[in-house]
Amino acid sequence: MEAASDALIRFLATERGLSRAYQLSVRQTLDALAGWLRLRGAPLREVGTEDLAAFLSQRKCEGLNAASLRITTVHLKVFFRWLAAQGRLEMDPAEPLLAPRPDLTLPETLHAAELLTLLESIDPAQPLGRRDLAILELFYASGLRLSELCSARLEMMNFDDGFLRITGKGNKTRITRVGTKAREALLDYLQNERPSLVSKRTSSHIFLSVRGTALSPDRVRQIVKERAALAGITHNVYPHLLRHSFATHLLEGGADLRVIQELLGHADIATTQVYTHVDRQRLKAVHKQFHPRG
């Protein structure tokens, strides 16, 4: 099992070019399966569909929600399809498995007024104020994922036209718009603060730490939380919340769902459609509040 897992991860990395985060996610599923098989003394070559169904059932009992079970099922399908294609198994026992439908969970968002409060609370004249303001402006203006912002480099930015070329999930490249305010904040940071952060170890990453290295995802999460707390926003604020707010506010403003899909880098329009439910919830709330018979 361990040798097969290692071989699949190498395949995903070298042949498919999938991200380290995806590789780690698959590895976690396969490690859990290996432990489950070890407890039962079941060799990999004898695993059947009923065994995999029992494994998924136990994962559900351990507290995995429908979305996580769906991801686990996909990982199993990838693994056993690959084993069968390699001739390591005579048949693919995961093929009949049905992935559970994910629960519809509406994404959290910030109101436009809250975002304005957050952005206006940052004083660019304070240490790292220009950097932190540029980070928050870019999250909200472009709907970037955390990993996309952390990996953004100077050569990816077109300031004349206001576009940023980024590589998202599955190593797919897309062009996203950078709004006027975000562009102004970025230019201010790049001209007046980033040079002071540069060191011998500095790469072309846009956002740098005080040591001159690229900001880590954990540090960016911390920056977002700290800035929200300083702005007096009491509920949990995190990078993906700004991405949700970006999409929701575009939809509320009348943007076409296909355009939002492209800006977010969603491969499937169904992923983007969750924001239509957010908009319907808002419409219902407004109707109930203001209509005489709401």
Say whether 275 is catalytic.
yes
Q: Are strands 157-158 and 173-177 parallel, antiparallel or unpaired?
A: unpaired
Q: How many residues does the chain have?
A: 294
Alpha-carbon gap, residue 285 to 265, rounded angstroms: 29
Q: In b/e form, how buried is each residue of 107-132, taking b as 16+ CB within 10 angstroms?
A: eebbeeebbeebbeebebeeebbbbb
Ordered by where they begin, the domains of the chain are: 2-85 (1.10.150), 112-289 (1.10.443.10)
For the segment 57-73, what is each residue's pLDDT rounded down to a tens digit? 999 898 888 888 989 99
Say whether 153 is catalytic.
no
Alpha-carbon gap, residue 193 to 267, rounded angstroms: 36
Q: Which of the following is catalytic: 194, 205, 244, 275?
A: 275
Higher-pLDDT residue of 93, 67: 93
Q: Give 281's pLDDT tier (boundaries 50, 70, 90).
A: low
* Structural contact between residues 122 and 129, judged by C-beta atoms closer than 8 angstroms: yes
Q: In b/e form, how buried is each residue of 223-258, taking b as 16+ CB within 10 angstroms?
A: bbeebbeebebeeebebbbbbbbbbbbbbeeeeeee
Q: Give 158's pLDDT tier (boundaries 50, 70, 90).
A: very high
Q: Has residue 227 got a pLDDT over 80? A: yes
Q: Give 196's pLDDT tier (boundaries 50, 70, 90).
A: very high
Q: Has residue 139 got a pLDDT over 90? A: yes
Say whether 169 is catalytic.
yes
As a whole number, mean pLDDT of residues 68-84 equals 93
* Structural contact between residues 107 and 55, judged by C-beta atoms closer than 8 angstroms: no
Q: Which of the following is catalytic: 59, 75, 131, 145?
A: 145
Say whether 266 is catalytic.
yes
Q: Has residue 179 got a pLDDT over 60? A: yes
Ranges of H-type helices in 100-179: 112-120, 129-142, 146-151
Closest C-alpha to 158, from 194, 183, 141: 183
Say whether 277 is catalytic.
no
pTM: 0.68
- Mean pLDDT is lowest, of 69-73, 103-107, 242-246, 257-261, for 103-107
Q: Which of the following is catalytic: 169, 181, 219, 225?
A: 169
Q: Which of the following is catalytic: 194, 243, 244, 249?
A: 243
Q: Which of the following is catalytic: 165, 177, 266, 282?
A: 266
Cα angle for residues 99, 104, 109 (degrees, 5° grid) = 135
Q: Which of the following is catalytic: 240, 244, 287, 293?
A: 240
Say whether 200 is catalytic.
no
